[in-house]
Amino acid sequence: MTRILLTVVLLISVISVKAQIEQFKCTPEWVQKIEKIAPAKAEVQPQKTRKVLIFDRFTGFDHWVIPHTSQVIKVLGQKTGAYEVRITKDVFCFEKNNLQNYDAVVLNSACSIGPRRDLILDCLDIDTSMDDEEKKVKAAELEANLINFVKKGGGLMVTHGAIVMQNNSMPFSEMVGGSFDYHPRQQEISLELCDPNHPLAKAFEGKPFVHVDEPYLFNKAYDQKNFKPLLYMDTDKLEGKRKPIEDNIRYVSWIKKHGKGRVFYVSPSHNAQSFEDERLLKFYLDGAQYVLGDLKCDDSPIDL
């Protein structure tokens, strides 16, 4: 009886998710809805044209919100004039001569396959012009190119599942601020403001952001907390944890310096309907302007 009940619950869950995806498809009408509620003006008007490259290819989990997120980031730039966007799934976008054409890169839920967790190598696997050793060398080169792009002053925005992109790479983890550990089941989460007075918290007007999401938990470089946290959740309130969590305050969004560059990690959101809240749209826009170097703010690491 217990197995039958569990099967029924899982079936209902799958049907519910499919219905949700169908209702919130990334249609022109949905994009127009976002255009209407998106901020009309950027917090800072750039002194020159800013160019942003969005990489939204995945080889692991297919986050259905990927096309929505790319369009949201594009709309925010177009409507406010804060930046121009190019969207690509070509892993060779991480070649040095291509990266030099951009002020910032957005990794949009670029989730890799486990257990290897190397999306760049995943993408190269289908390249028949290289043998296995050549693919490994090229994958390491492309990852290093991205890391050096940020170190030398470029911006990097990492949304939701993209923290898993190179999940077993410590240099990537140190750049982003952490790696993916796991997440309990999708549920309603209250995201609290670490500092309501911080410029990047302005979007939330001093109030928590409550939505349905996957509550991501992190490891590797996250333990160093070498970042300025923006949003956190109380894990004591989460359901479905695999193990006890000693520190109940877990951060889900932060900014940080990496060399001369700037990084913005934003876990919200797993679901497209979260973007129908204008507060999240402004948060994304302000974060993008931070990594572009236009919105200046305190990004000093947290005091442990």
Q: Are 86 and 53 in contact (CB under 8 A)?
A: yes
Whether 5 shows a pLDDT value over 60: the answer reads no
Q: Regarding predicted confidence, which is higher, 269 or 240? A: 240
Sequence-separated (6 or more) residues with CB below 8 Å from residue 253: 191, 229, 230, 231, 264, 265, 266, 267, 268, 283
The rounded distance, in Å, linking the Cα atoms of 94 and 115 is: 23
Which CATH number is 100's domain given? Answer: 3.40.50.880
Domain span at 162: 30-291
- Is 14 contained in some domain? no
- Mean pLDDT across the chain, nearest whole number? 93
The rounded distance, in Å, linking the Cα atoms of 209 and 193 is: 8
- Is 253 contained in some domain? yes
At 123, the amino acid letter reads C
Burial class from Cβ neighbours inside 10 Å (0-12, 13-18, 19+) for residue 106 reads buried
Q: Please compute the mean of the pLDDT values over residues 211-232 and round it to a whole number.
A: 97
Whether 237 shows a pLDDT value over 70: the answer reads yes
- Is 109 contained in some domain? yes
Q: DSSP code of 244?
A: -
- Provide the terminal-to-terminal Cα distance of the chain, rounded to the nearest Å: 49
At 199, the amino acid letter reads P
- pLDDT on residue 18: 59
Q: DSSP code of 270?
A: S
Phi, psi of 6, deg, nearest 5: -65, -40
Q: Regarding predicted confidence, which is higher, 1 or 136? A: 136
Q: Write out the two tokens for 278.
A: 């204008």
pLDDT band (50, 70, 90) for residue 295: very high
- Is 23 contained in some domain? no
Whether 123 shows a pLDDT value over 60: the answer reads yes
Q: pLDDT tens across 74-98, in order?
A: 999 999 999 999 999 999 999 999 9
Point out the least confidently predicted range of 101-105, 239-243, 249-253, 284-288: 239-243
Number of domains making up the chain: 1
The rounded distance, in Å, linking the Cα atoms of 282 and 112 is: 28
Whether 9 shows a pLDDT value over 50: the answer reads no
- Is 53 contained in some domain? yes
- pLDDT on residue 24: 82
- Is 99 contained in some domain? yes
Phi, psi of 267, deg, nearest 5: -75, -45
Q: Are 263 and 55 in contact (CB under 8 A)?
A: no
Strongest mean pLDDT among 14-28, 52-66, 237-251:
52-66
Q: Which residues pair with 263 in a beta bridge?
A: 156, 256
- pLDDT on residue 17: 53
Q: pLDDT tens across 256-277, in order?
A: 999 999 999 999 989 999 999 9
Point out the least confidently predicted range of 20-24, 236-240, 260-264: 20-24
Helix (H) or strand (E) holding 192: strand 187-193
- pLDDT on residue 269: 85
